[in-house]
Structure 1
Amino acid sequence: MHERSLGPPRVPVSALGLGCMGMSDFYGPRDDAQSIATIHRAVDLGVTFFDTADMYGPYTNERLVGQALAPYRDHVLIATKFGIVRDLTDPTKRRIDGTPEYVKASCDGSLQRLGVDHIDLYYQHRVAPGTPIEETVGAMADLVHAGKVRFIGLSEASAATIRRAHAVHPIAALQSEYSLWSRDIEDDIIPTCRELGITVVPYSPLGRGFLTGAIRRVEDLAEDDFRRRSPRFQGANFAKNLELVDAVAAMAQDRGCTPAQLALAWVLAQGDDMVPIPGTRSIARLEENVAAADVHLDDADLARLASISPKDKVAGERYTPDGMAFVNR
């Protein structure tokens, strides 16, 4: 596995991480035994960067990841997130909390569920509208000083918020959706991260599975799969986005790789400061994704992909209006 760095302070991590959300939530039925086997295979393949959050489950994914990685704790980096609070009686209801008291209580809960004495990378999952970012990051900095957290990050934050946060305490990573069909962070957020030396961690680099070409109908998704409610998977949007998928698949065939590998190789080619975290519960998909690190795209390839997938090609927003209200804040 190729390595990149998380920084500041430039800690080595595998060029591809593993997003673990779908192992416990949002993408249909769970299978913990299969997911643990997939995590173990990821370690075998050289993956050292694993991503979870307290709201996945809620809470169950942190326990799963902690259990699976316990034998390898000294050789991996575990990232988790706080800030999205789900109603335990109705997990579809949620609010955003960034108060210092909540930050510290959430960290203690995550440490317990993960079964670790420190969190390697602790993100604010979404920027809280009611709390100044300086207060939230100040509490996160306290966790670093207490030895409970090594590095801190933000997720779906705007360039202005990143600058304000970084002035309080160095931000090691920004996690945001980024792929061939989600490019809204290119104009000012990625340049800001590069100016400040912050690693970008793209989640959903495969367009929530759409760019793999495996999803041909919305009926291919489980009844409780949240993508059934995603604007990009709806009606005319779905049909239009299939055109992009088919164009990517045709190019992948020409290049002798899979559509997923081509899509991941494109993200990796955007800069050495990109560490994408494709998620999967399948060992076969994991092995396919990891092999993308060996797919080299030259200038002609990148130009062809630029023509196939310009910024405005995708149809539909990333989230419903309620979800979009809390991205790039």
Structure 2
Amino acid sequence: MKYRKLGKNGPEISVIGFGSWAIGGGGWASAWGNQDDELSVESVRVALYNGINFFDTAAVYGLGHSEEVIGKALKSDRDKVVLATKCGLVWDENKNISKNGTYDSILREAESSLRRLGTDYIDLYQMHWPDTDANAPAEETMRAMDKLVQDGKVRYVGVSNYNVSLLEASLSVRHVDSLQPPYSILRPAVEKEILPFCLEKGIGVVAYSPLTSGLLSGNYTYDTKFSDDDWRSRNAAHTGEGLRKNVDRVEKLKNIASRYSITMPQLAIAYDLAHPALTSALVGVRKPSHILSVLPAIDLTLDEATLEEIRKIAVE
């Protein structure tokens, strides 16, 4: 495994991170369907054995269940890993989810996450989405995060899905150790402004959905269908004309992967890791093979001509 420093002040983390969205299981709005908890724990053990030390989850994944599973799986290795979770999405008794970045809500969420994770500190605590419901300013959210650091409950502070303006507002309160944006061959928008900004400010970048939620697996066809309890069944990129366009792009990308004698997922991870701003790429995991199949990507180097070829295909 290879490791990179998370921003200018953060810890050394594996260039492939363990993404825990799907292991939250079914029964909530953004679920991937049901999940076997024992298989999830086995996947964590396989990741650890292969040198992965960065594990990312969120309170909202499975409405707390993902944190519980991750906490259980990492209990005996807690001091060997960088454990990250996210806040700012809260839910009611009817499983209705809303965004809340207010000071008091963030502090309450942290206590709940600590309990579910079975730990007394969180290595990296991240605001999941900008608050567009309670409308707390980014500065208020950062003050709560800073309070958690001062109290020893959080070691590093990050944000997810923030634009440059929100990053600047956050930086006016304290340093932001990391940004977690969606970044993949098929979703390259952050390359224009956000990644250069993070590089300039010493903000680490952890890319989520480097496979574009499975589109870059190379396994989809025009006829691919998702079950009703899978959020992708309601996503434009995974259905209808959006799916057809993406399948066409992936077929062209497969030719590049073939030249390198690698798989599509390996090409996708190598593309992300080629950007100088990137610290780690999160791989969504439901079973051990999801980790094992992408490990060769850490040793791949794509030349600039290939990277440009990939970029052109992505916008066709």
TM-score tier by shorter-chain length is over 0.9
Confirm or deny that 1:2 pairs with 2:5: no
Correspondence for 1:244 among 249, 252, 259? 249
8 Å contact kept, 1:153–1:174: yes
Cα distance, 1:146 vs structure 2 = 0.2
CA distance in structure 2 between the partners assigned to 1:195 and 1:275 by the alignment? 17
Confirm or deny that 1:281 pairs with 2:286: yes
8 Å contact kept, 1:261–1:292: yes
Task: Say which SS state the counterpart of residue 90 (structure 2) adopts.
Answer: strand
Confirm or deny that 1:43 pairs with 2:48: yes
CA distance in structure 1 between the partners assigned to 2:248 and 2:93 by the alignment? 39
Cα distance, 1:219 vs structure 2 = 4.4
Cα distance, 1:218 vs structure 2 = 5.7
* Equivalent residue, structure 1, for 2:83: 78
* Equivalent residue, structure 2, for 1:54: 59
* Equivalent residue, structure 2, for 1:166: 171
8 Å contact kept, 1:118–1:150: yes
* Equivalent residue, structure 2, for 1:327: none
* Equivalent residue, structure 2, for 1:325: none
Correspondence for 1:175 among 177, 180, 193? 180
CA distance in structure 1 between the partners assigned to 2:239 and 2:308 by the alignment? 29
One-letter code of the match for 2:20? C
Correspondence for 1:110 among 113, 116, 120? 113
8 Å contact kept, 2:71–2:116: yes
* C-alpha distance after superposition, 1:2-42 (max 9, x if no partner): 11111231411111101011112321211111111011100
* C-alpha distance after superposition, 1:201-221 (max 9, x if no partner): 110000101101122256443
Correspondence for 1:199 among 188, 201, 204? 204
TM-score by length of 2: 0.94
* Equivalent residue, structure 2, for 1:254: 259
Moved more, 145-154 or 223-232: 223-232
CA distance in structure 2 between the partners assigned to 1:60 and 1:103 by the alignment? 19
CA distance in structure 2 between the partners assigned to 1:82 and 1:44 by the alignment? 28
* Equivalent residue, structure 2, for 1:14: 14
CA distance in structure 2 between the partners assigned to 1:23 and 1:213 by the alignment? 22
Question: What is the total number of aligned residue pairs between the two structures?
Answer: 309
Cα distance, 1:272 vs structure 2 = 5.3
* Equivalent residue, structure 1, for 2:28: none
* Equivalent residue, structure 2, for 1:317: none
Stretches of structure 2 that go unaligned for 5 or more consecutive residues are 26-30
Correspondence for 1:123 among 123, 126, 137? 126
CA distance in structure 1 between the partners assigned to 2:120 and 2:223 by the alignment? 42
Confirm or deny that 1:266 pairs with 2:268: no
CA distance in structure 2 between the partners assigned to 1:288 and 1:271 by the alignment? 24
* C-alpha distance after superposition, 1:151-195 (max 9, x if no partner): 001111110110111121110000110000112222221121111
TM-score by length of 1: 0.91
CA distance in structure 1 between the partners assigned to 2:227 and 2:109 by the alignment? 31
Task: Say which SS state the counterpart of residue 46 (structure 1) adopts.
Answer: coil
CA distance in structure 2 between the partners assigned to 1:205 and 1:48 by the alignment? 18
One-letter code of the match for 2:122? I
Identity within the alignment, %? 34
CA distance in structure 2 between the partners assigned to 1:272 and 1:102 by the alignment? 31
Moved more, 281-290 or 145-154: 281-290
RMSD over aligned CA atoms reads 1.4
CA distance in structure 2 between the partners assigned to 1:197 and 1:118 by the alignment? 23
* C-alpha distance after superposition, 1:247-282 (max 9, x if no partner): 112211121000000011000001253311011212
* Equivalent residue, structure 2, for 1:148: 153
8 Å contact kept, 1:83–1:103: yes
CA distance in structure 1 between the partners assigned to 2:268 and 2:55 by the alignment? 20
Cα distance, 1:308 vs structure 2 = 2.1
Confirm or deny that 1:30 pairs with 2:35: yes
CA distance in structure 1 between the partners assigned to 2:309 and 2:72 by the alignment? 43
Pair 1:218–1:39, CA change in 2 (3 A): farther
Stretches of structure 1 that go unaligned for 5 or more consecutive residues are 314-329
CA distance in structure 2 between the partners assigned to 1:244 and 1:165 by the alignment? 37
Cα distance, 1:295 vs structure 2 = 1.6
CA distance in structure 2 between the partners assigned to 1:50 and 1:222 by the alignment? 27
CA distance in structure 2 between the partners assigned to 1:64 and 1:120 by the alignment? 17
Matching of residues 206-245 of structure 1 within 5 Å: 206-217=211-222, 219-245=224-250
CA distance in structure 2 between the partners assigned to 1:6 and 1:172 by the alignment? 7
